[in-house]
Amino acid sequence: MVQAYGAKVAEEKPAAGRGMGLREREIILFCWIFILGVALATAFFQGVSFRDWQIIPSESFLILPRYLPIAWVIIAILAGLTAFFFYREKSPEAVPPEVLPIPEKPPELSPARMKWTTPSLVILALLLGITIYTNKVDTSSPNHLTRFLSKDWGEKRVVIGKIWKEPEVRYHTDPETGEMVEKGTNLVIRPSKIQREPPDGPFVEKIKGDILVTTTPMIGWDVYKKISSSEALGYTVKLHAPLFAEQPSNNPGTFDYKRYLRNSGIYAKSPLTFPSRWAPPIEILKETRGRLWVEAALGIKKRMLAVFKKTMPYPESAFLGGVTLGLRHGLIKLYRYPWSPLSVEDAFRHAGTIHVIAVSGLHVTVIAGMLFGISLLLFKSREKAAAFTLFFMIFFALMIFTALTGARPSTMRAFIMVSIALLLWAMGIGLRYSLLLSIPIAGTAILLLNPLVLTEASFTLSFGAVLSLGLITNPTMRYLKKLKGLPSVALLIIALIFPLISYFQREAFKELSTMGQFIIFAFLLLVVSYIIQRRHRLGRFRKVTNIVLYREKQGGFKSIEELAQVPGIDRGTFSRLKGKIEKAGININTASGYVLGNLTRGGPLFRFGLGDGNPFFLAKWFFAFLAAQVAINLGMMLPLSLYYFKHVPYAGPYSNFIAIPIITTIIPLGIMAGILGMVIPWLGQYLALLMNAGNWLLVKLFLWLSYTATNIFRYPFEKTPTVYQLAGYFSLLLVYIYFDDLHKKLTCPNLKSIEKEIKKKEAQAEFPEEIEKLKEEKKALVRGRIRAGIIVALVALLFFIGSLSARRKPLLKVLYLSVGYGDSILIQTPKGKNILIDGGYRSPTWDTGEKTIAPVLVKEGIKRLDTVVLTNPSLEHMGGLISIIKNFEVDQFIDSLGPDRVSPDISYDEFLALLNDKYFWENRDKESVQETYETYRELLKVLKERMVTHKKGSYGTIIAKERFRGKDLEFYILNPMEPKIDYAYSNLSANSIVMRLIYGNNTFLFTSNLGPEGEARLVASGNVLRSDILQIPAHGSINSSTPNFLRAVNPRVAVLSYGNAKYAGRDKMTARQLKKEMQETLAKYRGEVQKVYNNDKYEDMAVIITSDGRRYWMESMRSRSKHERPLLMKGR
C-alpha cells in the first residue's frame, strides 16, 4: 500500500511530492499545543519572575496533583470526541481485494465536523501536556522516593533494584601528574522495593524515582570491578546505604545539579565509600539483564571498541570511540596539546565543535544517509529504499544505536525525526513538509516519555538546530541570493578579515558589545557597497538607453567608432565595448537591449554573486551549506549558547565549515571499520586497519583544527539573557523568516488596484457578482494588514519587555558567595557600581573564579567591575581573582601591599619579608607557602597585562561614595592602619583589609581574616564599628570574634564564610580542627545576634542581602530552595 501510493505520487510529481493535507496540519497543531502545555506547566512549576519581582512562586501547579484523576478522565473523554470528529463521514467504495486502492491525495476531514475538530484537539493537547508534566513532578505519593530520604549517615536504607543505565566511570585530574585518573563510578538504580528500617522493617514496593549511586574502589575491588563495567547494566543489586537529596545550586547563576537530576528522574543519591560494619554497601543479587536488545548493543559496543583500539593508536582511538559509540569518558582522558592549556573537551567547546562529541542529530543523520545510500544500491526505486531504510532503523538501528549512545534526548529526537521524515517522504509528501511535520511529532514523543527535559540544554539545542535549519535556511538563501556585485564582495571580505582581527586584536572581542560594533561597521560597509552597486547599475541603464536612442536617431551605426560619440560613453567604456563587440562578432545595429546591457557590465567585482545566475558564483552545495551555518548560528548558537553556557563560540561558524565535512567522513568510516573488524574474523582486522589509517589522519586534522580555532578566536563570558530577552530575540527572528509575507500584507500592493476596479465596475453598474468578489478580496487584504500589524506590535512589545527585564531594581545588593573555605563577596550599589571582594580558592582541578564567581557575575548582568579588593594575599582569598581579571573588565585593584613595593618580578624572599608573617617564615619550604607566592606573582602579571590600576588599600581609603534618592552610600577601609601590626603570630591576618559599608540606616562590616590583634586595634582606634550585618572574622576561628570586638560592633546579623578546609589545601586533621572551632564560634554568636548565616554549601549556601537604605531583606539559596520569604529587618 505504501509502495503503491508512493509510486503513484512519484509518477505524478517525481521531484517535489505533494504538500501537507488538513490532517497533517491538525497533527502539527496537536503536537505544538501539547508542547505549549508542557511549557506552561514548566513555567508555573519553576516560577515566573520579572526583574526582582516574583510573579508566580516556584512549585506552583496549573492542575493540583490531587485533581489528576479527574484530569485523566477529561482527557479520555476529549480523546474519544476528537477521534469521533476526526473520522470521515463517507466510507470509501468497496474495491475487489486483488486491486489495491491508490488514493491521489490523503482523505480530508468532512466540512460538517471540521468546526468541532480543532477546538477539541487544542483543548486535548493543552490539557494532556499540563497533566503529564504535573504527574511527572508530583512527589506526594507515599511510595515516592523522596519519602525515604535519610536525615544523616546513620539512617541507612535497604534498596533492591536494577542498574537502569550503563555505569559511568568518573575521572579526576591527578594534582601531581596532571593526568586524568579513575575516581569512581556512577550507577543509576531503579528501585523495586525499599526497607525503611533495616534489618527487620517491612519492604515498600512500587517505588517512584531513581537513585544515583556513587561508588569508589574502596567498597571492595571485586564488587567495584563488576559494577563499573558496561556489562553491569541490568544487574539486580541490593544497597545498604543512606539516601540523600542532592543539594540545590549554592550560588545564583551556577549549575543546578539537583534540577538536572530531577529532570532525569533521579530524586536521591547514595554515596558508597567504605564497607558497612553489619552489611556490604552493595551486593549483586542477580547478573541477568532482562533487556536482550540492550545486551546485544553493549556487546557490539565492546567488540567495536576493541577493533578501534587495535587499528588506531591512542588518543585518536578514544576520539573515534567518543564520536561513534558515545564514550565521552575516553575524550575526557585525552591529552592536551603542548601549545594550549585546554583539554580536548574544552578546546571543542571553545571552537564551537562540542556537538561532535555529544552524539546527536548530526551523527544520526550521517548514519541514516549511509544506510540510505546502501539501500539505494540494493533497490532502484527510491520508495523501496526509503521503506527498507525505515525498517532497518526502527527494528535495528533505533534500538541498537540508542543503547550504544545512552538514549540521549538528541539521539532519540534525531531517530524519530529521520524515521518519520523517511516514512512521509516514501508516502509522497515533500521533503520540506516531512521535516516540518516530523519535528513536532518527535518533540511530542520525547516529552510524552519525560516532559522534564523540555528545559534541558540537550533537548533545546537539538530541536533549536533542526528548527533553524528548517525555518531559517530558505529565507537566508533568498536574501543572500539578492546580494550581487559589490555587496557580496564586501560580505566575503568581512568574513575573511574577521579571523585576522580576532587573532591580532584578541582583547577587542572580549565583550559582546564590541562584536556588535563590528557588526554595525560591517552593515555600514554593506550599505555603502550597495549604493555604489546601484549607482553602477543605473549608469549601465543610462548607457544602454543612450546607445539605443542614438541608434534610432542616426538610423544605425556606420562603424564601431561612432560609439565614442554616444553621450555617457567615456574612453574607457568605449575601449571595453569595442573589444567585446569585435571578439564576440556582434552587430551593433541589431543587438538587443539585453545584449547591450551585458556588454556594458562592469568587471568581476560588479558581477560576483553568492547565488547562482552569475558568471561568478559559489557552488550550490557550498552556498546551501553557508546558508545552513548562518541559520544555525542565528537560531541556536548565539541565543542558546549564551543562555545555557554564558559564552559565544565565535569560532563556530568558521571551524564547522571544515569540521562537519570531516566528521561526516570519520563517522561512516569508523562504523564500517568497526563492523568489518567485528564480523569478518581475520580479513576484517586488516580492512579495518586500512580504513582507520585514513581516519587517523582525519582525526588528527580535526583535533588540530579545534586547537587552532581556540588560538584565533576568543571564548569570552557574556551576560546571560533573560527569558524575556530570548522571547524578544526569537520574535525578531520570526519577522526575519516571514519578512516577505509580512511586508506584502502590510503594504498590500494590490489594494489600490482592487479599489480602482471596484469603483470602475460600480460606475458601470454592471457585474454585481464580480464586485462582491472584489470586495471580499479587499476585506481579506485589510484583515491580513491588521493581523500583520498586530504581529509587528507584539514583536515590538516583546522586545521592549525583554529590554526592561535586564534592568535591576536600584537597591544595594550584597552577595556573600558560597565558595568553600574562602571569601568572595559581590556588592552592587544603587547607581550600578560593581565591587568584588576576594575570589576564593584555586587548585589544579578547581578554579572558583571560573566555576563559581564568573557565572554569578554574568547572571547578574555584570561585565565590568569597578573595583576588585584583595583583603588578604592568601590562597583562599586570591586564587579565583586571576580568571576574573582575565575575563572581565576591571577598573581598579586594591590590596594591602600596593604597587610601590611589589611587581611581577618580586623574589620569594622579598615576598616573605613584605608579608612579615611568622607562619610563612617558619614554613617557607612548604608547598602551600610557595604556591601562595606563585599565585600572587601570577595575579600581578595579569594586572599588568590587562592594564588594571593597582592601588594600596589602607585606613581611610574610600572605595565608593555616592548619593541616591536622598540617601548617602559610603564604602571605606578601616584596616590596616600605619604602622602595620608586626607582633602577631599571623601578621598577614592581623593586617587584613577591613571595610565598612554605610547606606542610609543600614551598615555592613567586612572583616576578612582579621585576627584578635587586629580586632583589638580596631576597638582601641575609636572608630565607629557598629554594624547591622557582620562578616564573622577568620572563617569562624576560635581566636577571633573577641568579646570587646563584638560589643563594639553589636551586630544584628552575622554571616560566616565557611566550607570544608580539606578542599582549600588543608590536611584532614587541620580541617577537622577548623570545623570544631567554627561550631564553637557559631554557638557564641547565636546567643548574641538575631540571625546567623553559614554560607557552607551544606548549610545556608550563598546569602543575599538587599537594602533600600531603611530596611534590608535577607535570604539564602537554601531558603530560596524551600520557597521561604526573605527576612525583613529595619536599620538602626
CATH code for position 1040? 3.60.15.10
pLDDT band, very low/low/confident/very high, at 34 (cuts 50, 70, 90): very high
| pLDDT reading at 972 higher than 90 | yes
Looking at 142-156, 391-405, 959-973, which range is the least confident one? Answer: 391-405
Which of the residue ranges 413-417, 720-724, 726-730, 994-998 has the most confident prediction, judged by mean pLDDT?
Answer: 994-998
Percent of the chain predicted with pLDDT > 90: 19
Residue at 751 is within a domain: yes
Looking at 278-282, 879-883, 1125-1129, which range is the least confident one? Answer: 278-282
Quick check: 1028 and 841 in contact, CB under 8 A? no
| pLDDT reading at 257 higher than 80 | yes
Q: What pLDDT is stored for residue 1029 in this prediction?
A: 94
* Exposure string over 1040-1051, b if 16+ CB within 10 A, otherwise e: bbbeebbebbeb
Q: What is the pLDDT of residues 1023-1071, one digit of tens each?
A: 889 999 999 999 888 888 899 999 999 999 999 998 888 777 777 788 8
Q: What is the pLDDT of residues 15-27, one digit of tens each?
A: 444 455 667 778 8
Q: What pLDDT is stored for residue 341 in this prediction?
A: 67
Clarify whether residues 774 and 668 are in a common domain.
no
Residue with cell 550563598: 1102
Determine which helix (DSSP H) or strand (DSSP E) holds 959, and give its type and residue range.
strand 958-964
Which has more confidence, 1082 or 624?
1082
pLDDT band, very low/low/confident/very high, at 104 (cuts 50, 70, 90): very low
Clarify whether residues 541 and 672 are in a common domain.
no
User: Distance between CA 671 and CA 321 in Å, rounded?
Assistant: 10
Using the 8-state DSSP alphabet, how is residue 651 labeled?
Answer: T
Q: Which of the listed residues 87, 120, 137 is the one where a domain comes to its end?
A: 137
| pLDDT reading at 526 higher than 90 | no
Return all residues near 391 (Cβ < 8 A) that are at least 6 apart. Answer: none
Residue with cell 550581487: 484
Which runs of consecutive H residues, i.e. helices, occur in 277-334?
Answer: 292-311, 316-325, 328-332
CATH of the domain at 216: 2.40.50
pLDDT band, very low/low/confident/very high, at 9 (cuts 50, 70, 90): very low
Q: What pLDDT is stored for residue 853 in this prediction?
A: 94
Coil/strand/helix, residue 448: helix
Looking at 680-694, 852-866, 964-978, which range is the least confident one? Answer: 680-694
Clarify whether residues 991 and 1029 are in a common domain.
yes
Q: What is the pLDDT of residues 313-341, one digit of tens each?
A: 877 888 888 788 777 665 655 555 555 66
Residue at 952 is within a domain: yes
Looking at 267-271, 395-399, 752-756, 1044-1048, which range is the least confident one? Answer: 395-399
Q: What pLDDT is stored for residue 303 in this prediction?
A: 85
User: Distance between CA 422 and CA 382 in Å, rounded?
Assistant: 10
Clarify whether residues 988 and 1101 are in a common domain.
yes
Residue at 369 is within a domain: no
Coil/strand/helix, residue 844: coil
Return all residues near 1032 (Cβ < 8 A) that are at least 6 apart. Answer: 1007, 1040, 1041, 1054, 1055, 1056, 1057, 1081, 1085
User: Distance between CA 674 and CA 678 in Å, rounded?
Assistant: 6
User: Distance between CA 1112 and CA 110 in Å, rounded?
Assistant: 65
Residue at 632 is within a domain: no
- Residue 450, CA distances (Å) to 73, 125, 454 in order: 21, 16, 8
Residue with cell 570544608: 1060
User: Distance between CA 643 and CA 655 in Å, rounded?
Assistant: 22
Q: What is the pLDDT of residues 800-843, one digit of tens each?
A: 888 777 777 788 999 999 998 889 999 999 998 999 999 999 88
Residue at 880 is within a domain: yes
Clarify whether residues 708 and 730 are in a common domain.
no
User: Distance between CA 694 and CA 1006 in Å, rounded?
Assistant: 62
Q: Which of the listed residues 90, 114, 137 is the one where a domain comes to its end?
A: 137
For residue 603, count CB atoms less than 10 angstroms from its CB and return exposed for 0-12, middle for 13-18, buried for 19 or more: exposed
Clarify whether residues 166 and 260 are in a common domain.
yes
Q: What pLDDT is stored for residue 722 in this prediction?
A: 84
Return all residues near 744 (Cβ < 8 A) that are at least 6 apart. Answer: none
Q: What pLDDT is stored for residue 13 in this prediction?
A: 38
Q: What pLDDT is stored for residue 91 in this prediction?
A: 43
Clarify whether residues 699 and 743 are in a common domain.
no
Clarify whether residues 179 and 108 are in a common domain.
no
Q: What is the pLDDT of residues 647-702, one digit of tens each?
A: 878 888 888 888 888 888 888 888 888 888 888 878 888 888 888 888 899 988 88
Clarify whether residues 168 and 250 are in a common domain.
yes
Q: What pLDDT is stored for residue 720 in this prediction?
A: 83
Radius of gyration for the alpha carbons in the chain, expressed in angstroms and rounded: 35
Clarify whether residues 799 and 816 are in a common domain.
no
Q: What pLDDT is stored for residue 15 in this prediction?
A: 40
Domain total for the chain?
Answer: 6
Return all residues near 593 (Cβ < 8 A) that are at least 6 apart. Answer: 544, 548
pLDDT band, very low/low/confident/very high, at 1007 (cuts 50, 70, 90): very high
Quick check: 362 and 371 in contact, CB under 8 A? no
Residue at 752 is within a domain: yes
- Per-residue pLDDT averaged across 297-312, rounded? 83
- Per-residue pLDDT averaged across 576-600, rounded? 63
Return all residues near 93 (Cβ < 8 A) that are at least 6 apart. Answer: none
Q: What pLDDT is stored for residue 805 in this prediction?
A: 74
Looking at 411-415, 485-489, 912-916, which range is the least confident one? Answer: 411-415
Which runs of consecutive H residues, i.e. helices, occur in 845-966?
Answer: 848, 854-859, 875-878, 881-887, 908-915, 918-922, 927-945
Clarify whether residues 945 and 882 are in a common domain.
yes
Residue at 470 is within a domain: no
Looking at 333-337, 574-578, 719-723, 726-730, which range is the least confident one? Answer: 333-337
User: Hey, what's the cell of 815?
Assistant: 552577595
ω into 217 cis (within 30 of 0): no
Quick check: 540 and 600 in contact, CB under 8 A? yes
- Residue 770, CA distances (Å) to 122, 216, 764 in order: 37, 84, 12
User: Distance between CA 423 and CA 1025 in Å, rounded?
Assistant: 76
pLDDT band, very low/low/confident/very high, at 97 (cuts 50, 70, 90): very low
> Helix 652-679 to helix 620-632 angle, to the nearest 10 degrees?
110
Measured between alpha carbons, how far apart are the two ends of the chain, in Å?
Answer: 84
Q: What pLDDT is stored for residue 103 in this prediction?
A: 44
Return all residues near 1070 (Cβ < 8 A) that are at least 6 apart. Answer: 1061
Residue at 251 is within a domain: yes
- The range of the structural domain enclosing residue 790 comes to 724-805
Clarify whether residues 133 and 152 are in a common domain.
no
pLDDT band, very low/low/confident/very high, at 968 (cuts 50, 70, 90): very high
Q: How many CB atoms lie within 10 A of CB 628?
A: 19
User: Distance between CA 90 and CA 111 in Å, rounded?
Assistant: 12
Q: Which of the listed residues 555, 583, 609 is the one where a domain comes to its end?
A: 609
Phi then psi for 1094, rounded to 5 degrees?
A: -125, 110
Which has more confidence, 749 or 794?
794
Q: What is the pLDDT of residues 390-427, one digit of tens each?
A: 555 555 665 666 666 656 666 767 777 777 776 766 66
| pLDDT reading at 253 higher than 60 | yes
